[in-house]
Structure 1
Amino acid sequence: MNPLNPKKLLLTKWTAVKPVAKQKHFLVSRVIQPVEPTNPIEQVEIEAVFSKATKIVAWRDLQDDSVWRQGWV
């Protein structure tokens, strides 16, 4: 996978390899900024397209090909 830049993840599309409760397609709806501006970005909020449910994940977890695929597959 190509290296990801956390600042450019906003509004990117992701597909879960193993969907749970019909939640397969996700969109990065928010990049969570750290409390200290000098600290690196650690988390993003993803929103399920089907149910509009949101959850917070570490942005580095998106690089795991066994869990996530970039784009809507």
Structure 2
Amino acid sequence: MSKTQINPNKLLLSKWTSVSPTHKEKHFIVTELMRDEEGTVIECTLEAVINRNSYTLPWQSLTSAVDWKQGWK
């Protein structure tokens, strides 16, 4: 399984494409980063471009090339 290298501090406003879209939600933008007490990024909020639905997930899940592609493809 291939992994994408990501700097979690540079995720804000980055664009992502879902490899297997659900509900026609294919393109996403990172709208928020959640950090712990030390300032380490632990989660991010993705917003679907088509309908503005938001999803919060661990930022590490974006490293899975099976699920996500960086940019809008």
- State the TM-score, normalizing by the size of structure 1: 0.90
How many residues end up aligned between the 2 structures?
Answer: 71
Aligned to 1:42, the other structure's residue is in SS state: strand
Q: Which runs of 5+ in 1 are unaligned?
A: none
- In structure 2, the residue matched to 1:52 is 52
Matches within 5 A, 1:1-73: 2-34=4-36, 36=37, 38=38, 40-73=40-73
More strand per residue: 1 or 2?
2
The amino acid of 1:55's aligned partner reads Y
* TM superposition shift of 1:57: 0.8
Q: Which runs of 5+ in 2 are unaligned?
A: none
The root-mean-square deviation of aligned C-alpha atoms, in Å, is 1.3
* TM superposition shift of 1:16: 0.2
**Partners of 2:34 and 2:10 in 1: how far apart?**
12
Aligned to 1:66, the other structure's residue is in SS state: coil
Q: Percent identity?
A: 37
Q: In the superposition, relative to structure 1, how do residues 33 and 21 fare at CA in structure 2: closer, same or farther (>3 Å)?
A: same
- State the TM-score, normalizing by the size of structure 2: 0.90
